[in-house]
Structure 1
């Protein structure tokens, strides 16, 4: 058994990883400022409410914690908002990561799994996207993630940090047992927007761009189930703790679904049609984004189990139905 600190562990992916770690027999402590995370999603371990920008609090947590590894999820992650308020993203994502690295260099541990993003690649020049693809992020969010990767790599040279930079694609779905899931944010992504529409929380479902060079004109994305992401984080951490080398890996399925395909699957499972409104493309959105995850499959002995579109939608709908029932 190992002891993990999860920054941002009250968020969507962090909370699923926290749950999976506990089920695997590990001890966890969640550090989250709850600005976009939720106390109710922390179903295992202790929660400390704190901010990575507060160096003294972070020092205290790491000095007292005797952690074996850190899994670093804490970040702002809305592409559109990153254009509107880039300083917020550089401050939270980059300075927060810098503070974490500084505290780890003083108090340990020396193992870090970092929640990176396919946004570091920008517009694909080849599909599927492998780890050696050119790095040319199109938005401030992606640029902050790439800056964090560079800091981590330099820290590894200076202080013998062992790391896994995990560049994952589009996280979706919910815990297959319906215990936790996405709590709808103020900037919902595609699947959450579909469910929001199904629940009557919005009258119109916007689709941004229908003139992309794809089979139906809408953007095509590699959707990876959040539980599959959680298992990959655990596999990466355990490999590092067992003496494995640092790594930078893609996490995806190698397949993609268009915006319209996702909408049609939600409509089919929900049993109703949505009022779809076509809008212009959003700045910074590539036409196609599909991962080559063969390296992760090989190094981590990892394969997605829940990332077919039917299961993704079914688990997300089940979670939201349960929430509606508990609130009624």
Structure 2
């Protein structure tokens, strides 16, 4: 049996591949390398360069590797970009997920884990949000993910497979062992951008809006370490293989930090000051989104190991420094 990881050369996907390899799983990665990197894939995994919408390719991989589970990360993730290019996001995130799911069902894949997002909740507010909260995405990105969740729900009723959809909050940090991290040029993740600015890779950092209804006026987010997120996926896979039913669960730490609090943490951990500029709000940004992750903790025994902002920032900064050295060699 093997696990097919889509988008496994990207930020979260590459951490998942390392976690699976560490657990002794056979892994095949399908990634078109639009934002991912060959070197980010664990050498023990097989990398196939291709598109998840290519049903013939997916069917061949399922048959050749006896795939029993798919963990699906591939997709576009930038909220403002989705506002300006909604059809592109529906094509890449929703339509291609539909093609992947059909190929999986035809190939007899029994388990499917989907990379969803807290963006399905929209403006959830300062209180931790539970999975039964109103679903009201405020961007095409969030809507594209919610549409995929609905497809999974309906397909699981009609076909013989089980699924888990994990709704991520703000994924941050890097592999504590320095094997992979957020490497995409022009990434928009706050901790990534702040780390780049602290190390002199950007001239300044822009805060998009300081007039939100939050304690300091800047957006509040629940920042989850990427390795804790990969661990949640591994536990979710074990649960499905052990007969667990379909599940949608949040992955976050149950508390949030504002943009300014994150900036101060990066300054503190790096020991560097840097220029911060105030800008207007971005379309699609909610004021605050914080997880209630009690369901994940109860259903598959998830216990985060890196729930500390300075630890997350420290790992991000270490990776950013390592990436600089890699780019200089290349």
Verify same fold: TM over 0.5.
Answer: yes
Matched, 1:129 2:129: yes
| Cα distance between partner residues in 1 of 2:255 and 2:36 | 29
Post-superposition shift, 1:207? 0.1
Match of 1:85 in 2: 85
**Structure 2 counterparts to residues 49-88 of structure 1, below 5 A:** 49-88=49-88
Matched, 1:20 2:15: no
Match of 1:145 in 2: 145
- Describe the SS at the equivalent of 2:166: strand
Contact 1:197 1:203 in 2 (8 A): yes
Match of 1:161 in 2: 161
Match of 1:33 in 2: 32
Match of 2:223 in 1: 223
- Describe the SS at the equivalent of 2:286: coil
Contact 2:125 2:288 in 1 (8 A): no
Alpha-carbon spacing, 1:291–1:20, altered in 2? closer, same or farther (3 Å) = same
| Cα distance between partner residues in 2 of 1:165 and 1:28 | 20
Match of 2:191 in 1: 191
Match of 1:203 in 2: 203
Question: Deviation string for 1:278-303 (max 9, x for gaps)?
Answer: 01111111111100000100101011
| Cα distance between partner residues in 2 of 1:327 and 1:105 | 41
Post-superposition shift, 1:198? 1.8
Post-superposition shift, 1:161? 1.8
| Cα distance between partner residues in 2 of 1:56 and 1:326 | 36
Structure 2 spans left out of the alignment, 5+ residues: none
Question: Deviation string for 1:126-178 (max 9, x for gaps)?
Answer: 72100000001000000000000000011100102200010010000000111
Question: Deviation string for 1:296-315 (max 9, x for gaps)?
Answer: 00101011111310110010
Post-superposition shift, 1:36? 1.2
Match of 1:173 in 2: 173
Structure 1 spans left out of the alignment, 5+ residues: none
- Describe the SS at the equivalent of 1:127: strand
Match of 1:286 in 2: 286
Question: Deviation string for 1:27-75 (max 9, x for gaps)?
Answer: 1000001111111110130000010122222222222220121101111
Contact 1:184 1:192 in 2 (8 A): no
Post-superposition shift, 1:101? 1.0
Contact 1:129 1:290 in 2 (8 A): yes
Post-superposition shift, 1:125? 5.4
- Describe the SS at the equivalent of 1:68: strand
Post-superposition shift, 1:196? 1.7
Match of 1:112 in 2: 112
| Cα distance between partner residues in 1 of 2:105 and 2:177 | 38
Alpha-carbon spacing, 1:299–1:47, altered in 2? closer, same or farther (3 Å) = same
TM-score, scaled to structure 1? 0.97
TM-score, scaled to structure 2? 0.96
Question: Deviation string for 1:162-211 (max 9, x for gaps)?
Answer: 00010010000000111111103324211111122122222120000111
- Describe the SS at the equivalent of 2:217: coil
- Describe the SS at the equivalent of 2:71: strand
| Cα distance between partner residues in 2 of 1:106 and 1:200 | 50
